[in-house]
Amino acid sequence: MLKESLRIFSSDLKNSSKDLLPIILVVAFFQAFIIRAMPEDLVSICVGLLIVATGLALFIRGLEIGIFPVGENLANDFAKKGSLFWLLLFAFLIGFSTTIAEPALIAIANKASLISDGRIDAFFLRLTVALSVGFAIALGVFRILLGHPIQYYIIGGYIIVVSVTFFAPVEIIGLAYDSGGVTTSTVTVPLVAALGIGLSSSIKGRNPAIDGFGLIAFASLTPMIFVQLYGIIVYNFGSVSDVTTIATVSKTIEVAERFGIYNLFMELLGVIKDVAPILLVIAFFQYIIIKKPIPHLKKVIVGVILLIIGLDAFIVGLELGLFPIGENIAYSLTTMNNNLLIYLFGFLIGFSTTMAEPALIAIALKASEISEGNINQKTLRISVAIGVAIGIALGAYRLISGDALHYYIIVGYIIVIIMTYFAPKYIIPIAYDSGGVTTSTVTVPLVAALGLGLAENIEGRDPLIDGFGLIAFASLFPMITVMGYGIIAQIKTKKEKS
C-alpha cells in the first residue's frame, strides 16, 4: 500500500515538475539575459519552486479522490431527489460562499479601494461579485436542466456586458472586466465542473461533454455586469469611504510576514478558511437535505486533507520562489523603455503560468475523460496557454498605447460569437469555461503586478483606469484559441474520413 502510494506520488511529482518547467525557463531567461543580474535569495527561490511542484502534485491527487467524486455524487443525488429549489440553492451557495473569501478577489478589491481613494468599497465590491457568481452558478445549473444550448446565454450575456459598458464610469470598466477572471478559484473550479458533469450525466438526454461544462463561463460573465452596475451606483450616488482600515490591515500583514513560522501558519489557516465554506455547504446538503452519508468518506477526507496541504504548499512556494522574482522582472521591464521586451515577457509569462494553473489542469483532465478521445488534455492546455499569452501581450500593448479597453474586448467578443457558429458542439462549453480557469492562483498575482506596474510607471496612465484589464484579456483570448483548436480538429477528422 505504502509502496503504491509512493509510486503514484512520484508520478504526480514528475508531472507537476514538467508543468513548472516553462515558468522556470522564462524567469531564468529574463533574469540572465535581459535583467543581467543574479536574483537575490537564489536558494530560497529554488526551494520555493520545489515546494510548488510538491504542492501541485498533492493538490491534483486530492482533487481526484476527494472533490471530483463528492461533486458528482451530489449532482446524482440531487437529480434523483428532483427538488429544483434545493438544487438551485445549493448552486447559489457554492458560488457565493467560495467567491466571498477568494484570495485573488480580496487582493484586487483592496487594491481597487486604495487606488480609488475609498470610493470603491472593498467589502461591497466583494459582495457584489460573490452575489453575481452565486446567481451565475444557479443560472448555469438551470440551463443544464432545461437543456438549452449554452451559446445563446453567453452571447446574450456579452450583449448585456457591452451595453452596460457604455453607461458605466471609465474608472470601473477595467476592474469589472477583470472581476470576471478572478472569481473562479482553484478549489471552486473542480467542484463546479464536477457538479455540472454529474448533473448532465444523471439527466436523460443530456451529454456531459456538451451540457456538463459551462458553469465556469457563467461565473466569469455575470461579475462583469454586476460590477459595472455597482460602479454606476457608486460613481453617481456614492461617497468616498475611509481607507485607513485597509492601510492598517496591510501594514499589519506586512509586519507579520517578517516572522516565517507565523506566516506559514497564517497561510495554512487561509487555505482552510477558503475551503471551509465549500465543505460546510456540502455537509449541510449531503446530511440535512439529501439525508445520505458521503460515499467512501475516509477516502474523501484523505483527499480533502491532501488538497488543503497541497494548495497551501503551492501558495507558500509561489510566494517564496516565483512571485518576488516575477514582480521584480515586471518592474525592471517597465523602467527599461523597451516595449517589445514587455510584450515578450507578457506573452511568455502568460503561456508558462497558464500551463501550471491547477484549475486548468483539473478541467483538462475531466474534459479528456468525458470527451471519448475528442479532446487531448495536453493539447487543450497548450491551446488555452497560447490564448492567455496572446491576451496578456495584447493587453500590455493596449495599456502602453493608452487605447480604451472596451473596444478591444468588444472586438474579441465579436470574434468569439462568430467562431461559436463554426466550432464543434463538444468544444464550445469547454472553450467558454477556459476563459475562467486561466486566471487563478498562479496567473492573477503576476499579471496584476505587470498591469499596475506599467500604469504606475508610464506617464499619463491612471492605475485605476489603465492598471486593470490584463486579466480580462487573459480570460477572453483562450475562448478563441480553444474554439480554433476544435475547428482544426474537426477539419482533420473530416479529411481522414473522406
- Please state, in angstroms and rounded to a whole number, the distance separating the CA atoms of residues 9 and 11: 5
Asked if residue 53 belongs to a domain, the reply is yes
Asked if residue 13 belongs to a domain, the reply is no
Among 386, 382, 394, 409, CA closest to 343: 394
Supply angle C-alpha 432, 435, 440, rounded to 5. 140
Is the Cβ–Cβ distance between 214 and 99 less than 8 Å?
A: no
pLDDT tens, residue by residue, 191-230: 788 888 888 888 888 888 788 888 888 988 999 999 999 9
Asked if residue 1 belongs to a domain, the reply is no
How many CB atoms within 10 Å of residue 207? 14
How many CB atoms within 10 Å of residue 286? 19
- Please state, in angstroms and rounded to a whole number, the distance separating the CA atoms of residues 180 and 169: 17
pLDDT at 339: 87
pLDDT at 2: 63
Residue whose C-alpha cell is 464543434: 424
pLDDT at 75: 79
pLDDT at 224: 92
pLDDT at 229: 94
pLDDT at 445: 66
Cα 442 to its chain centre, rounded Å, is 9
> What pTM does this model have?
0.78
Asked if residue 118 belongs to a domain, the reply is yes
- pLDDT below 70 — which residues of the chain? 1-2, 101-104, 107, 184-187, 238-264, 322-323, 326-327, 373, 439-443, 445
- Please state, in angstroms and rounded to a whole number, the distance separating the CA atoms of residues 157 and 168: 16
pLDDT at 454: 79
pLDDT at 362: 80
pLDDT at 164: 93
Q: What's the structural domain count of the chain?
A: 1
Asked if residue 3 belongs to a domain, the reply is no
Asked if residue 220 belongs to a domain, the reply is yes
Segments forming the whole domain that contains residue 262: 18-497
Q: Which residues contact 471 (CB under 8 A, 6 or more apart)?
A: 177, 178, 181, 182, 439, 443, 444, 447, 448, 451
Q: Which residues contact 193 (CB under 8 A, 6 or more apart)?
A: 71, 212, 213, 215, 216, 362, 363, 366, 433
Question: What Rg value do the Cα atoms of the chain yield, rounded?
Answer: 22
Asked if residue 10 belongs to a domain, the reply is no
Asked if residue 6 belongs to a domain, the reply is no
pLDDT tens, residue by residue, 378-437: 899 999 999 999 999 999 999 888 888 888 988 999 999 999 999 998 899 999 988 777
pLDDT at 263: 65
